[in-house]
Amino acid sequence: MTKKMKKKLIRIIISFILLVIAFILKLDNTIINNILFIISYLIVGYDIILKALRNITRGKVFDENFLMTIATIGAFFISEFPEAVAVMLFYQVGELFQSYAVDKSRKSVASLMDIRPDYANLYHDKKTERVDPNKVKVGYIILIKPGEKIPLDGIVIEGSSTLNTLALTGEAVPRSISVNDEVLSGCINNEGILKVKVTKEFGKSTVSKILDLVENASSRKSKSENFISKFAKYYTPIVVIIAILLALIPPLLTDTNFKTWLYRALSFLVVSCPCALVISIPLSFFAGIGASSRIGVLVKGSNYLEALANTEIVVCDKTGTLTEGIFEVQKVNPIGYSKEDLLRYTSYAESYSNHPIALSIKEAYGKDINEKQVTKTKELKGKGIIAKVESKEVLVGNEKLMIEYNIDYIKSNDIGTVIYIAIDKKYAGSITISDKIKEDAYKAVKEFRENNVKKIVMLTGDREEISKNVSKELKLDKYYAELLPQDKVKKVESLMKEKSESGKLVFIGDGINDAPVLALSDIGVAMGGLGSDAAIEAADIVIMTDEPSKLANAIKISKKTMQIVKENIIFAITVKILVLLLSAVGIATMWAAVFADVGVSVIAIINALRILRVKKD
């Protein structure tokens, strides 16, 4: 409980004691009794009155503070002192519950927000100096001791340890790291002392980007939240006008007492407070975003969480999403060259590439590459690379590249990704590389089906044979192979027409090469976003690990969130209308009205917090 909440609780207790004393003593001196009631009222309600006055000066007249102030002061005016105090007292109890609920839901993302580093140990001249992470530049050396947060992204240059990545990925299993491994800000060093060479300034680091994402998530409102905001804007002035008419018209048309109808009008005002909706709906989405963050899924706004609940089509990239993305050379088929020479020319041509296929070829070659021997490297998107290696023109790529340059190549029937090589316009052989399906991909497809996803589609630039095999193995609905980046965009545009009007298409990829498709989809999901700047910026949702099944869990959370939002809207509006009618005809007293208002708010808030119990199976 925060300090502000504790102060409010103390005021509520003191006010309640004074209210009980005034009731128990039943002093003949009405003035003393009334003074006790007024003191009790001011202790518990002064902040509500001040807020109402402050908002009036700002032009925000019709809010719950105004309604409570008018209703309670009106009760004093008709000599209903005990009810005036009770209304304000129980309203503040409801506010305390709301504050507690919001505080609890914020703690669900507290572990994520706790990744912000307080300092960095700058290492120079064999000494360490504790400095602000913002002052550390690229290339500086920092020291990370056991138990400390890693303040900036970098490369380990000395030491080995295990890292706790729970706050970033939602996974409890520590990750082993040693010299030359990349470390990301926000992780916690478990064991040894690490020396790290900084590769990104704090403002561009992983931790900074994630914190910015989470802190700005509330700025993107869902349709439900926007509806409630508009509803409250028009609803409150209407009920005030109705209350005024209720207090004035019946006494003028009938012989009934003005005080009786004023009392009914004040009860009407009390129960009309839209607190249950105004608080519980945003809280539901906040809790949903918090529950997602705990499993390593960062949702950039409640609008995306709401849209996710209506997912009809899931479109997946293949490499790195459904497959491991860790390629290994399986076969080298040289023509006119030795295996070593073919690997050497291919490795040199791919020397500047960080593509998984290029990395696998360089690993298979296993020797140092003299980059001075490589000149005029040119990449052809979706086809391959052309480079000058030792004064020879080397073409490395797929069949499209061979056809474009009129190379008389021999088509390989090997299962896997086949790279064709031509040296000085003559076919030099092929290299077969294979990738394997992730275990988690099987689980993801199964859980998508369980969440009523109607169609699962795979898009890939890989060969037809490989794509067909992956699609069949995972039991996907459709696949499209041998696609260039622009072809993927066209396929997604086509798939967007197949969904219903309310349905959503979700694309999940690595967020680096798929930025156009991520932007085109209803919801773009970047997977394996840990450390990927492009992923965090391009996508609407970022999965911090390489597990596609986490998207299925996020869909489950979003569906639960929307179910609870609908429950709260229906419940709150139904009870409000019922008690409003009862207040208007004099059946519901002001006591009943305040219990209805506070009770509905508390029940709606407790219901919203159920979202935090939705966990990964």
**Buried b or exposed e, range 326-337, using 16+ CB within 10 angstroms:** ebebeebbbeeb
Measured distance CA(494)–CA(492) in Å, rounded:
5
φ, ψ (nearest 5 deg) of residue 318: -90, -65
What amino acid positions are annotated as catalytic residues? Answer: 317
Q: Identify the residue whose tokens are 């503040």.
A: 92
Which residue, 181, 190, 184, is CA-closest to 163?
A: 190
Alpha-carbon distances of 199 from 85, 185, 203, 445, rounded to whole Å: 61, 11, 12, 37
Alpha helices in 393-548 (DSSP H): 399-404, 439-450, 464-474, 485-496, 515-520, 533-538
**Quick count: other Cβ atoms within 10 Å of Cβ 364?**
18
Please tell me the number of Cα atoms within 13 Å of 158 on its side-chain side: 8
Alpha carbons 429 and 578: distance in angstroms, whole number? 80
Sort 248 into a burial class: Cβ within 10 Å, 0-12 / 13-18 / 19+.
Answer: middle
Structure tokens given for 121: 């140990």
Which residues, listed in sequence order, are joined to residue 526 by a DSSP beta bridge? 509, 542
User: Could you write out the DSSP letters of every residue in 519-547?
Assistant: HHSSEEEEES-TT-HHHHHH-SEEESSS-
Residues 6+ apart with CB under 8 A from 75: 81, 83, 84, 87, 263, 266, 590
The b-or-e profile of 118-128 (16+ CB within 10 A means b, else e) is eebbbbeeeee
Cβ-based neighbours of 250, under 8 Å, separated by 6 or more: 256, 261
